[in-house]
Amino acid sequence: MKNLFSIIKLTVATLILFAVIYPLAIYGIGQLSPNQGKGQTIIVNGKVVGYQKIGQKFDKSNYFWGRPSAVDYNAAGSAGSNKGPSNADYLALVQKRIDTLLLVHPYLEKSDIPSDMVTASGSGLDPNISPQGALIQVKRVAKERNLAEAKVKALVESKINPAVVGPETVNVLELNVALDTLR
C-alpha cells in the first residue's frame, strides 16, 4: 500500500509537469517569438498564401515546381519514404519523376536534372530547391507565361538564398509569389 501511494504521487506529479506546465511554458515562449509562434507566413493581398518553411504542391506548368514529397505536402504527416537507394519501388518512382521532367522539359538531358528535383526530402515538406532545380524550369515557365526567359531567369537569380552553411537554395513559394507579380 505504501508503494502504491508513492506511485500515484509520482504519476500525478509527472502528469502535471508534462501535460500542463511544459506545454504552457512552450506556448508562452511561442507567444514571445515573431508572429506569436504561428510560423513565418507569406501574405499576398491580405491573405495568407502559405508558410515560408513548409513546402507546397505546385503542379501547374506556369509555376516553378518544388521538391517531390513522400507525404504529398501534408504537414500533419511529415515523413520520408523510408526506402533506400537500392529499393526497386523507390528506383522506379525516381525514374518516373525523371521521365516526367524530361517529358515536360524536352530541352533537358537526364544529366541536367539535379537530384533534389526527383528525390523527396526526409520530411516531405522541404520548401526549397537548388538554384539548378529552378533554373532548369525557366524555359517552361517563361513559355507558359509569355515572358522573356532572361526576365524569369533574373527573377530566379534574385531569389537565391545564399548559404551560410550548406548549399544555396530557392524558396519555391516565394519564387512563385514573385512570379505572379512579374509582367
CA distance 65 to 117: 8
pTM value is 0.78
CA distance 15 to 23: 11
For the chain, which ranges sit under pLDDT 50? none
pLDDT value at residue 55: 85
Long-range contact set of residues 69-73: C-beta below 8 Å, sequence gap at least 24 = 69/120, 69/121, 69/124, 69/125, 69/126, 70/120, 70/124, 71/124, 71/125, 72/124, 73/124, 73/125
pLDDT digits (tens, 9 = 90+) for 48-60: 888 888 888 898 9
How many CB atoms are closer than 10 A to CB 147? 17
- The size of the chain, in residues, is 183
